[in-house]
Structure 1
């Protein structure tokens, strides 16, 4: 589970800022007897704030780190994308510190970069209440700790991969005998899904993956049907249909990797793969007079498609006990569906694997009593920008009372995160524009 994420000098966050997922009652490095990580780590974090306050900037690097770990030894641009300092501190390094738990070991991974590439990368592991150095790197020089348990040959192989734009994590994951603490790398691969962004150019590919997984796996199809009827969007049934692949597409082969939520299109089929001349797709049955009607998934409304793509990935995260990050979760979702969505991560009967949800939103109804607050107050954060510098503030720092209406107090500016607007001068500017237009036409 993700325990905390710290950024410093990244985009609008000039100073060190931490998103802490640990419960206030978690006062030790590891759970005590009769406790578990699941008991002590928060399942959700909701980040509120005005437009351009920095909400996206606190979650964006997690997705870039995820991709960089997978491919930085092949794609140097991934590490370069991580160095994005505040304009006032462009000569200072950018730093990320991620603490997380994987298979009962607590890890702390630190990465610092400047315009030349990686300045520092280090990993510490806590398996028995004591921090152990696994490796420490400065530029292209790396030292492995005595307790790293990485074979000497593997250490030499890792060292050969190191360059200013290649992470040690990326090199380590290619080693055949990586040692006991390789879980620090596996967490990023196994327990974190690619973040969802509103303007994500991969949305269509992700939607295709959802439809493909549901059409190929009857259990996921049943689950999708259940979620669509739960959403009360007028859908009564879902069925899979098959039709001949158009001739112009038969030269291409679509490769699905459900475990990585990736879709690849290739003109060369994988070795031994049968040629598929048929395309499966999903139809949605709607209620109505007589027998109702049927729509293909591409004919469904934008709101229905957003719900499909969002809830399916949420269920995927819940199934695998993974971390799901969503930017502007409230986009195209009704407040009731939004509450339903985030509730699943807190429901102990549904979330049995320690799945986590981090999301940004403008939906203040989540803070209101409708009839109760939808999210625990320890899971609420506010992003605020002053004089071009963002900061992240936990609601708990304001020490709200139990009887406080957080939604109302937010709108009153108590937490200082609402945009300050003024209509001054707008009427005059519009009049001047109309006058200028009139003169031009005349």
Structure 2
């Protein structure tokens, strides 16, 4: 499970921001206790804020780190490990990623520091019996390994300025390092522009009862999902929906469905993979073109112990404020831009301390401007009237 994530110098993020899945209100059923951690973790968290405030940058940083671990070896020099802050900042070229996750109930901490796209520092630690122990540390081209990780010594010969040790560890046999790498790579990444209804995304999910149940949320008449169908026309995805009603069935290509159905169809494989394995889903613009009741039901699924017995986590970005009252205060995060164009990220649970009551109508308070992170729309009609030639 994801514990927390930090990033600096990435897209609209200049200074360090931290995102956490540690529960503040631990007494409720939605908070999952992790005995080896001494904390309870959330299974749902949403990031809200104006357009262009940096929601996508926060989630994109998680996706970027995952991709770097997957691809930096053997891609070597072709890999790009940085997407630095996009506005001037006194020539700063250093960025950092930090992620903490549990593997089999044990806390792991991974850190990467980059300068000009090259790895300056990389380290992995774990906390058996809650004591911090080093698995490896890498400073430039110097690699130090814990005892028992002799098989990873080959990494010394494979290191390059843009190659991560964690990426190499996946290739050299089983170890605690490799286990953590696979946990990180199990994160399911989705955004509204994904062409996720292609056949390869559905080969594993297509026969799952949960996939069909999720599709019925948007269309109760869906009876079956067909994968690897012969292409009926150019541009066909090879995936089709079977609808049954009035004693007959109808096969419909997914590419011919509405935009909302296609988007939902594309997110379902990630949700199925997460719920069946206890993984993390990172979903940008989760509610784009999808009915709010469907999105609300998906949030409930991840928070329900029966529907989500393995503790899968949903981390999403949304501009739809109606979801705010469905979430607990520690499940809500806000982004906003400073005057310098820098993304700031904050938790509602930390806003003004205990004055954010559990019973508060968060949506109403947010729209009233109490928490900031609102678009500046006042006076737009007057401004447009001054520039439109009538």
Question: Under TM normalisation by the shorter chain, which class is it?
Answer: 0.7 to 0.9
Q: Distance in 2 between matches of 1:239 and 1:401?
A: 44
Per the alignment, do residues 419 and 242 of structure 1 end up closer, same or farther by CA in structure 2, a change over 3 Å counting? closer
- Tell me the equivalent position of 1:61: 61
Deviation, structure 1 residue 430: 1.3
- Normalising by structure 2, we get a TM-score of 0.87
- Tell me the equivalent position of 1:94: 95
The answer to whether the 8 Å contact 2:6/2:97 transfers is: yes
- Tell me the equivalent position of 1:192: 187
- Tell me the equivalent position of 2:200: 209
Per the alignment, do residues 77 and 395 of structure 1 end up closer, same or farther by CA in structure 2, a change over 3 Å counting? farther
Unaligned runs of 5+ residues in structure 2 are 27-32
The answer to whether the 8 Å contact 2:205/2:269 transfers is: no
Per the alignment, do residues 172 and 247 of structure 1 end up closer, same or farther by CA in structure 2, a change over 3 Å counting? same
Per the alignment, do residues 347 and 77 of structure 1 end up closer, same or farther by CA in structure 2, a change over 3 Å counting? farther
1:347 counterpart = 2:300 = no
Q: Report the 3-state secondary structure (helix = DSSP H, G, I; strand = E; otherwise coil) of the residue aligned with 1:75.
A: helix
Deviation, structure 1 residue 353: 0.9
- Tell me the equivalent position of 1:129: 130
1:164 counterpart = 2:161 = yes
Q: Distance in 2 between matches of 1:78 and 1:59?
A: 23
Deviation, structure 1 residue 425: 2.9
Per the alignment, do residues 78 and 411 of structure 1 end up closer, same or farther by CA in structure 2, a change over 3 Å counting? farther
The answer to whether the 8 Å contact 2:45/2:315 transfers is: yes
The answer to whether the 8 Å contact 1:149/1:180 transfers is: no
The answer to whether the 8 Å contact 1:124/1:134 transfers is: yes
Q: Distance in 1 between matches of 2:34 and 2:175?
A: 29
The answer to whether the 8 Å contact 2:225/2:241 transfers is: yes
Equivalent of 1:235 in 215, 221, 225: 221
- Tell me the equivalent position of 1:115: 116
- Tell me the equivalent position of 2:47: 47
Deviation, structure 1 residue 405: 1.4
Q: Report the 3-state secondary structure (helix = DSSP H, G, I; strand = E; otherwise coil) of the residue aligned with 2:363.
A: helix
- Tell me the equivalent position of 1:395: 348
Q: Report the 3-state secondary structure (helix = DSSP H, G, I; strand = E; otherwise coil) of the residue aligned with 1:87.
A: coil
The answer to whether the 8 Å contact 1:212/1:281 transfers is: no
**1:307-326 alignment runs, 5 A limit:** 307-326=264-283
1:173 counterpart = 2:178 = no
Deviation, structure 1 residue 280: 6.6
Q: Report the 3-state secondary structure (helix = DSSP H, G, I; strand = E; otherwise coil) of the residue aligned with 2:73.
A: coil
Deviation, structure 1 residue 112: 0.7
Q: Report the 3-state secondary structure (helix = DSSP H, G, I; strand = E; otherwise coil) of the residue aligned with 1:316.
A: helix
Per the alignment, do residues 248 and 425 of structure 1 end up closer, same or farther by CA in structure 2, a change over 3 Å counting? closer
Deviation, structure 1 residue 136: 1.4
Per the alignment, do residues 174 and 244 of structure 1 end up closer, same or farther by CA in structure 2, a change over 3 Å counting? closer
The answer to whether the 8 Å contact 2:141/2:161 transfers is: yes
Deviation, structure 1 residue 400: 1.1
The answer to whether the 8 Å contact 1:80/1:165 transfers is: yes
Deviation, structure 1 residue 199: 2.7
- Tell me the equivalent position of 1:356: 313
Q: Distance in 2 between matches of 1:405 and 1:225?
A: 34
The answer to whether the 8 Å contact 2:328/2:358 transfers is: no
The answer to whether the 8 Å contact 1:64/1:78 transfers is: no
Select the structure of larger CA radius of gyration: 1
Unaligned runs of 5+ residues in structure 1 are 27-32, 250-278, 368-372, 435-442
Equivalent of 1:407 in 358, 363, 374: 363
1:6 counterpart = 2:6 = yes
The answer to whether the 8 Å contact 1:65/1:82 transfers is: no
Q: Report the 3-state secondary structure (helix = DSSP H, G, I; strand = E; otherwise coil) of the residue aligned with 1:165.
A: coil
- Tell me the equivalent position of 2:386: 428
Deviation, structure 1 residue 247: 12
Q: Distance in 2 between matches of 1:405 and 1:430?
A: 39
The answer to whether the 8 Å contact 2:36/2:105 transfers is: no
Cα deviation, 1:90-123, whole Å, max 9, x if unaligned, reads 4241011111110122111110111151111111
The answer to whether the 8 Å contact 2:76/2:163 transfers is: yes
Q: Distance in 2 between matches of 1:386 and 1:97?
A: 23
